[in-house]
Amino acid sequence: MTDALHTARLILRPPVPGDWDAFHDFMMSDRSTAFGSHKDLAKAFRSFAAELGHWQIFGYGMWAVTVRGDDTCIGLIGPWTPPDWPETEIGWMILSADIEGTGIATEAARASIKHAYDVLGWQTAVSYIAPGNARSIRLAEKLGAVLDPDAPRPAADTLVYRHPKPKDIA
Amino acid sequence: MAKIIPARLPQPKPRPAPGPAALKRRRAALARRAERPAPLIQPPVIETAHLTMGPCTDADTEAFMDFCATDRSRFLGGPSGRTDAWRSVAIHVGQWHLRGYGTWWLTDKATGKPAGRVGLWHPEGNDEPELSWVIYAPFEGRGYAAEAARAARDWAYTTLGLDTLVSHIDAENTRSIRLAQHLGAAPDGVHTYDHGAQVTIWRHPGPDAL
């Protein structure tokens, strides 16, 4: 298991129980309408527990994104691969509104995709995005991902964005 | 919540692309890290007469997904597909980290096969931890649920120091109701879930009564 990923501004580390507060505040806010746990405490608890469980079961999962020098979790970005999931997914939840426009989500997503290709050995990566989640679509496009209308998807109305393949990113 | 982002974020420094030797060193470092075990909160292993109660293994995950595909999972919201069933496994695994307690995965000592999931379930939205039990079909009728539930209840009372426990049971789940009675529990009101469903609260005898 990789302990952490370091980028110019960020440290991506496995999520810990203490990240619950940040996750909870996001899910109870108006910024999380695209998520099933939006303003639902019982569902939010399950979602966060599943993030920790994913790490323990597979030895990897969505990274807690932190700015160097501050261990606060500002987002969860990275691999999400339950059994029977159509393909290997890079998911993201941008918990903190403060990082919008800073390029931090892009920086973190790039690092997590690179790790998935280089260390986890993925051959492809997709992101499943709720239609109408404009912020998320912008991030996918910024990462060079393109809409794949023919790809299998977990729910009929989900958008599938396919990231550039390992050979296409330097 | 406190503001968490510094007003001026450090700007990325341009870095030269790593050469082949640097890449090799980096890969070797990543491989070394991969060998290091992660610090995890795992359930303690408990041995009962017929069962080993312990952390979740791949075999437990597979067996639970098989269970969730059957009608036996109807009182847990099933039947459900593998992705949803796996999610329940991940939630229960993650709950140990969040609560410091949770459910155990049962292995039948005689055959080495997964036999069920029993222990404490305490999601946000529930006022108190619940003693819950699932036994897979091949091991039904052997008293395994009672054996594991007693062990989990004893652990909760002695190790956690709890002085009471409840079980939430659907009025139509006659097998579970019989087990609750067998364990000395008695009806103590109704719990209404957020989605509107209602279950009977069965309250177990406290440590002093056992």
Q: A57 Cβ partners below 8 Å, 6+ apart?
A: B56, B61, B89, B90, B93
Residue of A nearest to B102 (CA): A49
List the domain boundaries for chain A: 5-168
Residue B14 confidence (pLDDT) above 60: no
Instruction: Take residue A78 and report the two structure tokens written for it.
Output: 């990275």
- Give chain A's mean pLDDT: 95
DSSP output for A103-155: THHHHHHHHHHHHHHHTS--S--EEEE-TT-HHHHHHHHHTT-EE-TTS--SS
Q: Which residues are registered as beta bridge partners of B45?
A: none
- The residue with greater pLDDT, B32 or A131, is A131
- CA dist B86 and A84 (Å) reads 9
Q: Which of the residues A26, A55, A57, A63 would you substitute to probe the B interface, choosing the one with the greatest number of B C-beta atoms within 10 Å?
A: A57
B95 and A CB contact within 8 Å = yes
B93 in contact with A at a CB cutoff of 8 Å? yes
Which residues in chain A are contacts of B83 at CB distance < 8 A? 82-85, 154
Using an 8 Å CB-CB cutoff, list chain B residues near A57: 56, 61, 89-90, 93
Residues of A in contact with B15 (CB under 8 A): 8
pLDDT tens profile B63-104: 999 999 999 898 888 899 999 999 999 999 999 999 999 999
Residue B27 pLDDT greater than 60, yes or no: no
Write out chain B residues lying below 8 Å of A20, CB-based.
Answer: 98
Domain that holds residue B110: 46-209
> What distance in Å separates the CA atoms of residue A53 and residue A162, rounded to the nearest whole number?
26
Q: Which of A133-142, B61-70, B190-199 has the lowest mean pLDDT?
A: B190-199
Give me the half-sphere count of Cα atoms (radius 13 Å) on the Cβ side of residue B150: 15
- For residues A55-67, average pLDDT: 96
Partner-chain contact A45 B125, CB within 8 Å: yes
Contact B36 A50 (CB under 8 A): no
Number of structural domains found in chain B:
1
The yes-or-no verdict on residue A8 having pLDDT over 80 is yes
Q: Is the pLDDT of residue B200 over 70?
A: yes
Task: Kindly list the residues from chain A whose CB atom is less than 8 angstroms away from the CB atom of residue B191.
Answer: none
**Nearest CA to CA, how far is B159 from chain A (Å)?**
21
**Would the CB atoms of B124 and A102 count as touching at under 8 Å?**
no
What pLDDT score was predicted for residue B76? 86
* Interchain contact B3–A (C-beta under 8 A): yes
Least reliable range by pLDDT among A140-144, B30-34, B54-58: B30-34
Cα separation, A84 vs B63, whole angstroms: 15
Residue B32 lies in a domain: no
Task: Give the per-residue pLDDT at A138.
Answer: 97
Domain membership flag for residue B144: yes
Residue A70: closest C-alpha in chain B: B4
Higher pLDDT, B137 or B37: B137
Q: With cut-offs at 50, 70 and 90, classify the pLDDT of residue B195.
A: confident
Question: Using the beta-carbon criterion (under 8 Å), do A82 and B86 form an inter-chain contact?
Answer: yes
CATH assignment of the domain containing B103:
3.40.630.30
> Which pLDDT does position B17 carry in this prediction?
60
**Residue tagged 């993201």 (tokens):** A92
DSSP state of A8: S
Instruction: Say if B97 falls within a structural domain.
Output: yes
Q: What is the pLDDT of residue B40?
A: 54
**Residue A96: both structure tokens together:** 């903190």
- Kindly indicate the confidence band of residue B41, based on its pLDDT and cuts at 50, 70 and 90: confident
The predicted structure's pLDDT at residue B196: 85
Examine the pLDDT at B209 and tell me if it is beyond 50.
Answer: yes
ipTM of this predicted complex? 0.94
pLDDT (0 to 100) of residue B8 = 37
In a domain, B137, yes or no: yes
* pLDDT band per the 50, 70, 90 thresholds, residue B23: low
CB atoms A42 and B124 under 8 Å: yes
Given this model, what pLDDT does residue B155 score?
97
| pLDDT tens for each residue of B107-143 | 999 999 999 999 999 999 888 999 999 999 999 999 9
DSSP track, chain B? ----S-SSPPPPPP-PPP-HHHHHHHHHHHHHHHHSPPP---PPPEE-SSEEEE---HHHHHHHHHHHTSGGGGGGT-S--HHHHHHHHHHHHHHHHHHS--EEEEEETTT--EEEEEEEE--TT-SS-EEEEEE-GGGTTSSHHHHHHHHHHHHHHHTS--S--EEEE-TT-HHHHHHHHHTT-EEEEEEE-TTS-EEEEEEPP-GGG-
A2 to B98: CB separation less than 8 angstroms, yes or no: no
The answer to whether position B17 is within a domain reads: no
Is position B3 within any domain? no
- B34 inside domain: no
User: Is residue B7 included in any domain, yes or no?
Assistant: no
User: CB distance B36–A57 less than 8 Å?
Assistant: no
Residue scoring higher pLDDT (B31 or B193):
B193
Tokens of B82: 């593998």
Level-2 CATH architecture, domain A5-168: 3-Layer(aba) Sandwich (3.40)
Report whether A17 contacts A52 (CB < 8 A).
yes
Q: Report chain B's mean pLDDT, rounded to a whole number.
A: 86
Is B97's Cβ below 8 Å from some Cβ in A? yes
